[in-house]
Amino acid sequence: MPADRISAKAFAPAHITGFFEVHDSTDPLRKCSTGCGIVLNEGIETTVSCGEGIEKTTVLLDGVEVKGSTIRTVVESLTDRPVKVECKAYIPIESGLGASGAGALGTAYALNCALELNLTASKLNQIAHVAEVKNSSGLGDVAAQSLGGVVIRKTPGAPGIGNYDRIPVKKQDIWCVVLGELSTSSVLSNREAVESINLAGRSAMQRLMEKPTLENFMLCSRDFTVNTGLADNTITDIMETVESKGGIASQAMLGNTVFAVARETEADEKITDALSEYGEVLNYKINTGSIKII
Ligand SMILES: Nc1ncnc2c1ncn2[C@@H]1O[C@H](COP(=O)(O)OP(=O)(O)O)[C@@H](O)[C@H]1O
Ligand SMILES: CC(C)(COP(=O)(O)O)[C@@H](O)C(=O)O
């Protein structure tokens, strides 16, 4: 590395939203979603570099140059200097696991470290949230990813503004099967889809708060994806199969991905065997931690 090159690296976790409601606003700190989701142990590692040899801002995802609009917005909010951003993904992209939010957070925290910006976590979280909102790549992932655990986003607002809570959980496996990609912005720009999301999301939240447990979260999420019409036939089939094997499954929002947990002890193998009929089974844990500078 050239002598006057500065660089820093941060990890930000994945997040699966189970259900949500969109809150629109002209203020990007107020535009957001409420809902509930799970932060995972895997995520995105982001390295930022500035200095000699870096003449323009570039974003690389697993070594390939990409548009990286959300990440670019984060860079532009923090510095006028050109930055090379390199994301290494340990999770699938465009699959409802909040890869865009994780990349935005990793960029914000790594840049804060590399350029000695001395910003607090709240400020960095808000910058990542605003970048997500401006690029229609997410509305609630950043808030959850900045906290960790099973996060309930109870009232609207960016991190530091909304009111958040958590469902206390024991160590738990989360299994995912990705069936294909789904662009978050394509769904968020569809008015009819957002209307049914909001109706189903509001009632899912009411039901969750009556009994805020992981099991009830999964049941609320499953009914949300059915009631919104987001679940296609394959996803419905998988959800039914997983239930018959002692688990509960739903669709990761907003992705063409199923996520599942065991409901009964010793059901793990039956569930993963059933899921493997539909694709590679990805195994994660619930992560009660958050962003790390590495
Ligand atoms: N960490 C990342 N680095 C660069 N580009 C990313 C990253 N995460 C997502 N993207 C890109 O951003 C766009 C929006 O992704 P999105 O559908 O929000 O994905 P996700 O559901 O994984 O958050 C896509 O074009 C995707 O390829
Ligand atoms: C569901 C979504 C709007 C998008 O999530 P993803 O596709 O993972 O970026 C999320 O940010 C949320 O508000 O809950």
- For residue 190, the domain's CATH number is 3.30.70.890
Residue ranges making up the domain that contains 191: 169-286
**Residue where a domain terminates, one of 123, 151, 166:** 166
**Residue where a domain terminates, one of 118, 146, 166:** 166
Ligand 2: which atom is nearest the Cα of residue 98? 8
Domain co-membership, 19 together with 138: yes
pLDDT at position 181, please?
87
- For the domain that residue 121 is a member of, what is the CATH number? 3.30.230.10
**DSSP type of residue 19:** E
Domain co-membership, 211 together with 129: no
Q: How many of the other CB atoms lie within 10 Å of CB of 82?
A: 14
Asked, for residue 29, whether it belongs to a domain, the answer is yes
Helix H or strand E segment including 101? helix 99-114
pLDDT at position 4, please?
84
Do 141 and 101 contact (CB within 8 A), yes or no? yes
* pLDDT surpasses 70 at 174: yes
Do 162 and 144 contact (CB within 8 A), yes or no? no
Cα distances from 48 to residues 89, 113, 115, 262, in angstroms, run 15, 10, 10, 38
pLDDT in tens, 23-80: 999 999 999 999 999 999 999 999 999 999 999 999 999 999 999 999 999 999 999 9
**Residue where a domain terminates, one of 148, 166, 184:** 166
Give the distance (Å) from ligand 2 centre to CA of residue 3: 40
Question: Rounded to the nearest 10 degrees, how much is the dihedral formed by the CA atoms of 99, 100, 105, 107?
Answer: 110
| pTM for the model | 0.97
Domain co-membership, 89 together with 41: yes
Which ligand has the nearest atom to the CA of 69? 1
Domain co-membership, 84 together with 45: yes
Residues 6+ apart with CB under 8 A from 116: none
* pLDDT surpasses 80 at 159: yes
Asked, for residue 264, whether it belongs to a domain, the answer is yes
Domain co-membership, 157 together with 40: yes
Do 4 and 34 contact (CB within 8 A), yes or no? no
Q: What mean pLDDT is predicted for residues 84-92?
A: 98
Question: Rounded to the nearest 10 degrees, how much is the dihedral formed by the CA atoms of 210, 232, 97, 36?
Answer: -10
Asked, for residue 84, whether it belongs to a domain, the answer is yes
Domain co-membership, 120 together with 262: no
Counted domains in the chain: 2
pLDDT at position 155, please?
98
Give the distance (Å) from ligand 2 centre to CA of residue 37: 10
Q: How many of the other CB atoms lie within 10 Å of CB of 116?
A: 9
Q: Is 183 in the pocket of ligand 1 (CB under 6 A)?
A: yes
pLDDT in tens, 195-254: 999 999 999 999 999 999 999 999 999 999 999 999 999 999 999 999 999 999 999 999
* pLDDT surpasses 80 at 127: yes
Domain co-membership, 20 together with 161: yes
Q: What mean pLDDT is predicted for residues 176-187?
A: 91
Domain co-membership, 112 together with 138: yes
Domain co-membership, 55 together with 187: no
Asked, for residue 11, whether it belongs to a domain, the answer is yes
How many Cα atoms within 13 Å fall on the side-chain side of residue 126?
14
Cα distances from 277 to residues 26, 174, 178, 209, 235, in angstroms, run 45, 17, 12, 34, 13
Domain co-membership, 10 together with 147: yes
Domain co-membership, 270 together with 207: yes
Instruction: Measure the CA–CA gap between 159 and 157, rounded to whole angstroms.
Output: 7
Q: How many of the other CB atoms lie within 10 Å of CB of 77?
A: 19
* Tokens linked to 45: 């590692």
pLDDT at position 110, please?
98
Pocket test for ligand 2, best of 36, 139, 188 (most atoms within 8 A of CB): 139
Supply the ipTM of this predicted assembly.
0.96
Domain co-membership, 31 together with 134: yes
Asked, for residue 174, whether it belongs to a domain, the answer is yes
